[in-house]
Chains A and B, each alone.
Chain A
Amino acid sequence: MKPAEVYKLLIDRFGEDLILAYVETRNPYIKINNGYVQAICTFLRYNPSTKFAFLSSISGVDYPQRNEIDIVYHLFSPFLNTLCVLKTSTPRDLPELESLESVWKVANWFEREIYDLLGVRFTGHSNLKRILLPDDWEGHPLRKDYKEKNSYHDMETMRPDPLKVLREKNEKSGKSQ
C-alpha cells in the first residue's frame, strides 16, 4: 500500500474535514486536522489493512512566517513496508496538541523533546517536562527566533575568541616591555 492509498483509506474513514491534504514530496505526507491526531493514529495503528505498528519519530518544525509549528509523525509499517508521514499544524502562540502516549509509549519521550525544544504542549501527557535542557532553562531553542541568553546561572554562555584574547595579551605585554 502506497502513501496515496493510505490517504484514500483515511479520507474514506474520516472525511475531508479531518484529512486535509495529500502533498507530494520526496516522502509524501498527509496533512491532518490538529484536533484528531490521536484518533487517526489509533486507526492507522490497529487497522488490519495498515498496521502501522511503529512510531519512527515525531519532529517539530517552526514556521514563523506562517505563525505555525508543524508536528510531523513518521509511522512505519513493516507489514506494508511503508512509511506514512502525517503532518499537522498548531498555532505558534499557543501550541497545543493531543498526546500520542496512549497509542505508542515511545511518544512520551518524543513529545517531551518537542516540548523542550519547541514549546508545544501535549494534552494528556503524563509527564510533560523538559528532557534535554535543564528544568529552569528559558526559551525553546529550536524556534527560529530563539536568542540565547548571555548567561545561565551566572555562567557565560559565550566564550571569548581565544585568538583575540591571545592577541590582546601579546599586545599588552608588548606595551609593558
Chain B
Amino acid sequence: MKAFADKLFLNIFHIQAADSPYLALWYVLMMFLVSFILLNFAALFAGIASYVERRIAARMQNRIGPNLVGPQGILQWLADGLKMFLKEDLVPQTADKFIFRLAPYFVFAGLFGAFVALPFGYGIVAADLNVGIYYILAITSLVVVGIISGGWSSNSKWALFGALRSAAQIISYEIPTGLSLMLVVMLAGSLSTQSIIESQGGWPWEWFVFHSPFTLAGFFIFFISSLAEGNRVPFDLPEAESELVSGFNTEYSGLRFLIYPMAEWANLWVVGAMVTLTYLGGWQIPGVRLETIPSSVLLFLISITIFFIKTLAVVFIVIQLRWTLPRVRVDQMTLICWTYLVPIALICLIGTMIWMLAFPWKSVFGTAIRILMSTVGGSVMIWCMLRARHNYVIDKDRFEKLKGIPAWYPPWKLP
C-alpha cells in the first residue's frame, strides 16, 4: 500500500514522496481514502449479499423473493437499511447501557478490520501485512467480544444464552481454523496473504487444496470452521431464531441491530476470500506467469475478476448450505469440533509435513497426484451439479404438469 501511495504521489505532484514535507499528511489522507473504499465495499457487499441471499433462498423454495423495490427488487437492501435507520434506538431499562451501546462497535471493528489484509487482485490489498493470516484471525476474534458483551449487557436470558453459545462456539472453532490454516502457511512458507496466493498457481492442480489428501481434508475443516466462526447455518446457534428468539441480538433495535446482520453478511466475503486465497489459488490466472501481470492492465482486471468469481462461488455455496441444512445442537457443535475437526486437523498437519518432504511440489509424483486429485474433484463437483439439475428438471416437469404454468422463469423475467 505504501508503495502504491508513493507512486500515486509521484504521479500527481511529480515529487518523490520521501522529499515532500507533507508526507505524513499524504499518508493519513490515503489511509482515510482506503478505509473509505473498504468500508463502502464491505457495506455494499453486505447489503447486496442480503438481497442476493433472499433471492437465492426464494429460488430454492419456489418463491419469488423481494421484487418490488427497484428493478427486480435490487434496491431492497437500501430500503431495509433505511428502515433500520429510522427505527427508535431502544435500550432496555435494566441493560448495562454503556456496554450495550458499545458492543456493536466491537463487531463492526472486528469484521471490517479483516478487510484490510484481504487481497482483491494482483497487488491490490490495503496492507500486505507479513502476518496477514494471523492478523485476520486475531481481528475477527473481536466479533466474539462484541457478541458476548452485547448478549450479556442486554440483561435478557435469551440474549445471555446466545452470548454463551457464541463464546463456546467461536472460541472452540478458532483452533481447527488456525490448524487448518497452518497447512497453507507451511506450504507457502509465509503468513502474508499475497505470498500465499503467489506460491500457488492458476490451474486447479496448482492450488493448495489438491496438494495432497491431507490438504483436501484441511480445506473442508477450514470451510466448516469458517462457517461456525461466522455463525452461519448449520452453526447459527448463537442466534437460533426458533430456539432463542433471536439470540444475542434479541434486545437490539434500529441501527445497533443493523450492525449484527450486516457484519454477518460482510463476513460472507471474509469467509469466501479466505477460502479462496488460502486453498483455491486466489487471483492466479491460469497459464499466466506472475511476472507478466504488472505489465498489463487487462491482466490486472482478469486477476480481480478471477478472485471475485471464486469468492462469490464460495459465498454462493455458503448461502445454499444455509437454506438446506438444519441447525446442530449445542453439544453436537462442540462435539464436532473437539472430537472430529481438531484431531483430523492435527493429523492433516503432520501428514502434510511428511508429504512435503516425501513428494516436493515440483516432483513428478507430487504433480501427478495433484493432477489426479483435481480431475477427480472436478468430476465429483460436475456430477453433483448434474445430479442437482436432474432432480430439479424432474420436479419442474411435475410442477408444470400439475399446474400448467412454468415453474421457472429466467431472472430477468421474474414476476
A and B directly contacting (CB within 8 A): no
Query: Which residues of B does A touch, CB under 8 Å?
Result: none
